[in-house]
């Protein structure tokens, strides 16, 4: 990517629409060839098309690429969409390997935004980006005071492109049509009303282009996890940040690919650390990190994990935070009528719904299965499949999701569950998932070493636990 992100409704829609039309025709031809004896024609079609689609979304940036990242987190086989698997594999690259912008252009963005030459801000600045994502890319640099920093540079034009995408219903519809065409197995599924969900997703994505907002989120998380024994959050360097440039202290550690090759005990430790970061943010504070893909983590060989991207964060009202915790606790403790009541209060279904307390528990049980299972629990391929099938596979006429509406405020919690399951499954992690929830809620003393360190830190800081009232 050497130039600006393409902008304008027509320029953003036409490439995807044209590709979708060509793909639909190609799929029909491949199917006919398969029937004529050309074994594997359909499979080869999907493999080629997936690579082309990933490249298209990668260069489009913004919402298009973000949508690709979200799709990549879903196990297509778990919902009977085996034909989507090639697309999932291709789109996985978009998590942290997107096409970068030209180095000269990146430097120009930095200098224009900060109003100074790069040499006046940084003692050194690497032209080669560490990572390139949907909104911007990250460069390593060194400040004149010697601090190592990461510099997040927003793609020129991406802010307007995202605004165009979010207001472009035809573009979003086109992407759905493409998914439906790629996986004919979805033909019998009844899709829910996506308008409220789309509105919540749009709000979170639109916030990601506001680097000053992200700087505030980093500061909030940095303060919340200040002096934590194994959770690391960067610190914003305000004098080197602006509207399109965000500089923060550099967190070292292994990336996701390198993290796969370490000892299993260390992987187990990281899984518990991630749990305590993600779930602890709304148990000891009112924050929710809504972008939990592993490209945002830096894994320390000493058992720490650093968290580096805070563009997609939701600040929870105490009422919403409390309901989230109460739903979890009523399910974990087996209080089924209470669970149904809190789900009604939260907007999953109405009081007159035919769904019983047992139905509500059965649905929630599928989501937190590993927390309810005998402990410690090992995350396997079945973990992700079970969670995805429970939340997304609505082909079955009796599927509970046909009678449940996920409230807009809780859309990203569904994503959180799927993403964490996918991460822990990839790590093949074994840890005391329930014990972590119990001690962070303040209903039991910790039983693991990490738990004892975490709870000691909570008490030393004077922070609330999950079941406490956070309004003081």
Q: What is the pLDDT of residues 162-180, one digit of tens each?
A: 666 555 544 454 444 444 4
Stretch 364-378: mean pLDDT, rounded? 93
Stretch 318-336: mean pLDDT, rounded? 96
What distances in angstroms separate CA 345 from CA 40, 324, 352, one per listed residue? Answer: 51, 11, 12
Q: Is the torsion defined by CA of 422, 423, 425, 426 positive or negative? A: positive
With a cut of 70, say whether residue 17 has pLDDT above it.
Answer: no
d(CA 185, CA 168): 27
Lowest mean pLDDT among 64-73, 136-145, 352-361: 64-73
Q: What is the pLDDT of residues 74-117, one digit of tens each?
A: 443 433 344 445 545 544 555 445 567 888 999 999 999 999 99
Diameter over CA atoms, the chain: 72
With a cut of 80, say whether residue 133 has pLDDT above it.
Answer: no
Lowest mean pLDDT among 220-224, 319-323, 414-418: 414-418
- Work out the pLDDT band at 200, boundaries 50, 70, 90: low
Instruction: Kindly give, in sequence order, each residue whose CB lies less than 8 Å from that of residue 433, ignoring residues fewer than 6 positions away.
Output: 275, 370, 371, 375, 376, 377
d(CA 126, CA 139): 6
Which comes out higher in pLDDT, residue 160 or 309?
309
Which comes out higher in pLDDT, residue 175 or 356?
356
Nearest C-alpha neighbor of 328 from the set 408, 441, 409 = 441
Q: Is 155 in contact with 61 (CB distance < 8 Å)?
A: yes
What distances in angstroms separate CA 382 from CA 59, 188, 369, 379, 412, one per listed residue? Answer: 34, 24, 11, 8, 22
Percent helix, strand, coil in the chain (nearest 5)?
60, 10, 30
Q: What are phi and psi of 265, to 5 degrees?
A: -60, -35
Nearest C-alpha neighbor of 75 from the set 389, 332, 305, 352 = 389
- Work out the pLDDT band at 454, boundaries 50, 70, 90: very high
Query: What are the residues facing 445 on neighbouring strands?
Result: none
Domain boundaries, the chain: 9-97+168-188, 254-472
């Amino acid at each position: 990517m050497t130039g600006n992100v393409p902008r304008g409704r027509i320029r953003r829609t036409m490439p995807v629409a044209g590709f979708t039309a060509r793909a639909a025709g190609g799929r029909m031809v491949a199917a006919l060839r398969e029937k004529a004896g050309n074994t594997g024609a359909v499979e080869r079609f999907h493999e080629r098309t997936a690579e082309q689609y990933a490249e298209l979304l990668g260069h489009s940036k913004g919402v298009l690429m973000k949508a690709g990242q979200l799709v990549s987190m879903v196990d297509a086989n778990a919902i009977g969409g085996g034909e989507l698997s090639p697309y999932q594999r291709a789109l996985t690259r978009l998590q942290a390997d997107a096409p970068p912008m030209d180095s000269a252009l990146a430097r120009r963005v930095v200098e224009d935004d900060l109003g100074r030459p790069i040499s006046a801000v940084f003692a050194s600045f690497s032209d080669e980006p560490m990572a390139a994502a949907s909104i911007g890319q990250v460069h390593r640099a060194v400040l004149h005071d010697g601090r190592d920093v990461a510099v997040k540079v927003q793609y020129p034009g991406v802010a307007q492109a995202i605004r165009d995408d979010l207001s472009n219903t035809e573009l979003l519809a086109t992407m759905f049509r493409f998914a439906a065409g790629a996986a004919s197995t979805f033909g019998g599924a009844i899709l829910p009303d996506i308008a409220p969900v789309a509105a919540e997703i749009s709000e979170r994505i639109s916030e990601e282009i506001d680097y000053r907002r992200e700087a505030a989120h980093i500061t909030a998380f940095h303060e919340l996890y200040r002096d934590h024994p194994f959770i690391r959050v960067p610190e914003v360097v305000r004098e080197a940040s602006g509207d399109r440039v965000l500089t923060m202290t550099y967190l070292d550690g292994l990336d996701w690919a390198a993290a796969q090759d370490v000892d299993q005990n260390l992987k187990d430790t990281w899984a518990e650390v991630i749990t305590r970061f993600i779930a602890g943010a709304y148990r000891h504070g009112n924050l929710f990190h809504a972008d939990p893909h592993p490209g945002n983590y830096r894994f320390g060989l000493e058992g720490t994990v650093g968290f580096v991207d805070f563009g997609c964060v939701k600040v929870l009202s105490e009422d919403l935070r409390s309901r989230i915790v109460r739903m979890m606790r009523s399910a974990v403790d087996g209080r089924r009528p209470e669970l149904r009541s809190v789900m009604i209060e939260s907007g999953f279904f109405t009081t007159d719904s035919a769904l019983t307390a047992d139905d509500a528990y059965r649905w929630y049980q599928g989501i937190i299965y590993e927390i309810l299972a005998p402990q410690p629990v090992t995350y396997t391929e079945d973990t992700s499949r079970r969670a995805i099938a429970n939340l997304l596979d609505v082909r079955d006429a009796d599927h509970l999701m046909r009678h449940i509406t996920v409230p807009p405020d809780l859309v990203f919690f569904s994503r959180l569950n799927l993403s964490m399951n996918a991460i822990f499954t990839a790590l093949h992690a074994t840890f005391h998932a329930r014990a972590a929830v119990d001690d962070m809620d303040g209903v039991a003393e910790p039983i693991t070493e990490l738990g004892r360190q975490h709870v000691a830190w909570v008490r030393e800081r004077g922070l609330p636990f999950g079941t406490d009232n956070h309004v003081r």
